[in-house]
């Protein structure tokens, strides 16, 4: 019995020794190794496939992706109700200091309105008691603006002040329930809280038009759409 037992197990051991080894890396002779492919590229042995994310791209590629996202803006619809609010002093001095030219306010109005329904277009001006200013105000009205004027304040010692920041903010908030889009034509960074309030509390889309070179960077970021007048200066200057 012991001899038969040893003989039986000896035959099994010999059979295992003669049998070819099979495992994960074994293959029939003459057949090439077939490796899995991801996106047309063979995956190196022993390395897991690499899944690219935005952070795995080179810096200049990431910048391109971010820039592409910024260029996407909310659509403009013909049925939208739009209100336009122009800080005339801000635009006047920006055009004079950057280009030594005047603003084409008619071109600004057409660009801001597009093919939408105009509810109101308000132009805010400061009276300086110059001879030509009334002619300028009349021209704005003929173009289609409602002109709101305020006297220039002169303080003791010669200091002068004239701005419409609070007035513009109050008008935009009061008109917001009647608007789908509010277009602010100014580069003044003081309007950032106003823009955010109109967007979050009033449900208005806010577009900003201004000279990119002098406008507040944070105001540009806060706007739903920013139109850089510098890029089309021939269209908006005269």
**Which domain, by its residues, includes 175?**
81-236
Sequence-distant (≥ 6) Cβ neighbours of residue 80 within 8 angstroms: 116, 117, 180, 181
Examine the pLDDT at 221 and tell me if it is beyond 90: yes
Q: What is the CATH number of the domain that holds 118?
A: 3.40.50.1010
For residue 149, being part of any structural domain is answered with yes
Q: Which candidate, 212, 161, 152, places its Cα nearest to that of 187?
A: 212
The three-state (H, E, C) secondary structure of 150-186, written as one string: EECEECCCCCEECCCHHHHHHHHHHHHHHCCEEEEEC
Q: Counting beta carbons within 10 angstroms of the beta carbon of residue 42, is it exposed (0 to 12), middle (13 to 18) or buried (19 or more)?
A: exposed
Q: Name the residue with higher pLDDT: 161 or 73.
A: 161
Residue-wise pLDDT for 145-197, tens only, equals 999 998 876 656 665 566 789 999 999 999 999 999 999 999 999 999 999 99
- Mean pLDDT within 91-101: 93
97 occurs within a structural domain:
yes
DSSP 215: S
Q: Which pTM does this prediction carry?
A: 0.68
Q: Cβ distance 231 to 210 under 8 Å?
A: no
Say how many domains are in the chain.
1
Specify if 189 maps to a domain: yes
Structure tokens belonging to residue 45 = 């042995």
Tell whether the model's pLDDT for residue 57 goes beyond 60: no
Residue 229 belongs to some domain of the structure: yes
The whole-angstrom separation of Cα 188 and Cα 219 is 8
* Lowest mean per-residue pLDDT among 30-44, 111-125, 157-171: 30-44
Q: What is the sign of the dihedral through the CA atoms of 167, 173, 176 and 178?
A: negative
- Is residue 59 in a domain? no
CB-based contacts of 182, cutoff 8 Å, min separation 6: 82, 83, 85, 172, 175, 176, 198, 204, 205, 206, 207
Q: Are strands 37-38 and 81-87 parallel, antiparallel or unpaired?
A: unpaired
Classify residue 220: in a domain, yes or no: yes
Decide if 44 is inside a domain: no
Does residue 95 fall inside a structural domain?
yes
């Amino acid at each position: 019995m012991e001899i038969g037992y040893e003989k039986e197990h000896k035959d099994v051991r010999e059979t295992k020794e003669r049998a070819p080894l099979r495992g994960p890396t074994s293959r029939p002779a003459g057949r090439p190794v077939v490796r899995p492919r991801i996106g047309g590229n063979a995956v190196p042995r022993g390395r897991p496939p690499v899944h690219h994310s935005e952070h795995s791209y080179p810096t200049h590629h990431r910048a391109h992706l971010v820039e592409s996202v910024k260029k996407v803006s909310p659509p403009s619809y013909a049925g939208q109700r739009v209100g336009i609010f122009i800080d005339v002093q801000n635009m006047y001095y920006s055009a004079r200091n950057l280009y030594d030219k005047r603003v084409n306010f008619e071109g600004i109005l057409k660009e801001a309105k597009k093919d939408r329904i105009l509810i109101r277009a308000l132009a805010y001006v400061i009276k300086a008691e110059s001879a030509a200013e009334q002619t300028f105000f009349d021209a704005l009205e003929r173009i289609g603006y409602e002109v709101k004027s305020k006297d220039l304040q002169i303080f003791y010692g010669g200091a002068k002040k004239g701005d419409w920041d609070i007035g513009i903010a109050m008008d935009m908030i009061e008109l917001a329930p009647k608007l789908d889009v509010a277009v602010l034509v100014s580069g003044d960074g003081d309007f950032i809280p106003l823009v955010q309030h109109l967007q979050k509390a009033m449900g208005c889309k806010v577009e900003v038009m201004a000279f990119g070179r002098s406008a507040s960077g944070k105001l540009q970021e806060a706007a739903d759409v920013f139109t850089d007048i510098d890029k089309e200066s021939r269209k908006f200057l005269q």
